[in-house]
Amino acid sequence: MQRVYNFSAGPAMLPEEVLKQAAEEMLDWRGTGMSVAEMSHRGKEYMSIAAEAEADLRELMAIPANYKVLFLQGGASSQFAMVPMNLFRGHKKADYLLTGSWGKKAISEAKRYGTVNVACDASAGSGKFTFAPKQGDLSLSADADYVHYTPNETIEGVSFPYIPEVGDKPLVADFSSAILSGSLDVSRYGVIYAGAQKNIGPAGLTICIVRDDLLGQTIAGTPTMFDYKTHADNESMYNTPATYAWYLAGLVFKWLKERGGIAAQAAVNTRKAEKLYAAIDSNDFYGNPVEVSSRSIMNVPFTLADAALDAAFLSEAKAAGLVTLKGHRSVGGMRASIYNAMPEAGVDALVAFMANFAKRHG
């Protein structure tokens, strides 16, 4: 068996220890004679798995008691609609900070339900997303029902180095590619959501952390399944949840706890990112257009000065066991996603490969 270092933006690598444990438990979970994938979500065994995963996530992120943790489906893309449906409660108006491709999608979905004020458009002028604006450059409106932003834009590798200050408005964040990567003050937020397939577990699960006071005032016509309260009132078991993905997420949370929790993981993540950016910045062969203070520690896009070498880079990297490095089709070049489960040795191997490739082709 040969495992590779998979730099995919998602679905992404899972910790090997987690996959091994899941494999061991696949046919018989703790003497039940069945796989977790075969369990009733209402049985006591599965309920214990679900509750433990939630408790571990609460502990890892220090989630205050006045927040519900929802284990949903539909991906972060469904949240682009659920957020306005649940939070357009006053003026049906919201402020959106636009720093990349996913924020753009969130905006176009929110516009179906109300008015969107783009409080900053980081692509204005250049057409490219390469930085997160400063607090002073945000044009927030007085009558917004909430403020939405994307702390880490997965495609462009643009990250906010600060939490926007939005007064008494609920702050909503798409944390899909940054959740669990570093410490976070959850109390600064109204809603935090994330698709699981990057730092949480396999695809099919979407985690949503919602402050209690934001539940129960959906806009007219909101489907029952799109109402946060439906899931909050039923411990995310109103319908059949993504049981197996939830279980695997629970194993990932245990893995993180065993490694010292988020603070310890954040130190590893910072080190991995520093090594990779240093490799990019150390020569003219590679480049990254993102302002240094806005650089993501999870998604590192980079280009080769000579794009004609892209194909050779990708195929030689693959031969060296470094896969899924092709950048998103909208930006081109390369992208190395280095989520929690990417071992530091994987980044070291990539850095060594990049130096060697540059030497041979530079």
Ligand X SMILES: Cc1ncc(COP(=O)(O)O)c(C=O)c1O
SS3 221: coil
Residues 282-321 that bind ligand X (CB under 6 A): none
- Size of interface with ligand X, in residues (CB under 6 A): 12
Least distance to ligand X from the beta carbon of 9, Å?
6
SS3 195: strand
Give Rg (Cα) of the chain: 21
The residue number with the shortest CB distance to ligand X is: 75
C-beta of residue 316 within 8 angstroms of C-beta of residue 349: no
3 burial via Cβ count (<10 Å: 0-12, 13-18, 19+): exposed
Catalytic position from the list 174, 227, 229, 272: 174
Residues 319-338 that bind ligand X (CB under 6 A): none
CA distances, 54 to each of 47, 130, 166, 244, 353 (Å): 11, 35, 28, 14, 39
Least distance to ligand X from the beta carbon of 28, Å?
31
Residue range at the interface with ligand X (CB under 6 A); choices 15-23, 71-79, 263-271, 325-333: 71-79
Catalytic position from the list 68, 198, 229, 254: 198
Q: Could you say whether residue 181 binds ligand X (CB under 6 A)?
A: no
Active site residue 246: no
Cis preceding linkage at 11, omega within 30? yes
Nearest residue (CB) to ligand X, 145 versus 153? 153
**Residues in contact with ligand X, shown as a per-residue x/- string from 96 to 125 under the rule CB under 6 A:** ------x-----------------------
Task: Pick from 46, 174, 182, 256 the residue near ligand X by CB under 6 A.
Answer: 174
Least distance to ligand X from the beta carbon of 66, Å?
25
Task: Pick from 15, 195, 301, 333 the residue near ligand X by CB under 6 A.
Answer: 195
Least distance to ligand X from the beta carbon of 265, Å?
19
Least distance to ligand X from the beta carbon of 328, Å?
9
DSSP secondary structure letters along 135-175: GGG----TT-SEEEE-SEETTTTEE-SSPPP-TTSPEEEE-
Active site residue 284: no
Q: Could you say whether residue 76 binds ligand X (CB under 6 A)?
A: yes
Q: Could you say whether residue 10 binds ligand X (CB under 6 A)?
A: yes
Nearest residue (CB) to ligand X, 10 versus 333? 10
232 burial via Cβ count (<10 Å: 0-12, 13-18, 19+): buried
Among 163, 166, 165, CA closest to 182: 163
Active site residue 233: no
Least distance to ligand X from the beta carbon of 98, Å?
13
Number of C-beta neighbours around residue 256 at 10 A: 24
Provide the H-helix boundaries in the chain: 16-25, 44-61, 75-87, 101-110, 228-233, 243-258, 261-281, 310-319, 344-361
- In which residue are the tokens 């806005």 written? 294
Residues 133-172 that bind ligand X (CB under 6 A): 150, 154
Q: Annotated active-site positions, please?
A: 102, 174, 198
Q: Give the binding site for ligand X (CB under 6 A).
A: 9-10, 75-77, 102, 150, 154, 174, 176-177, 195
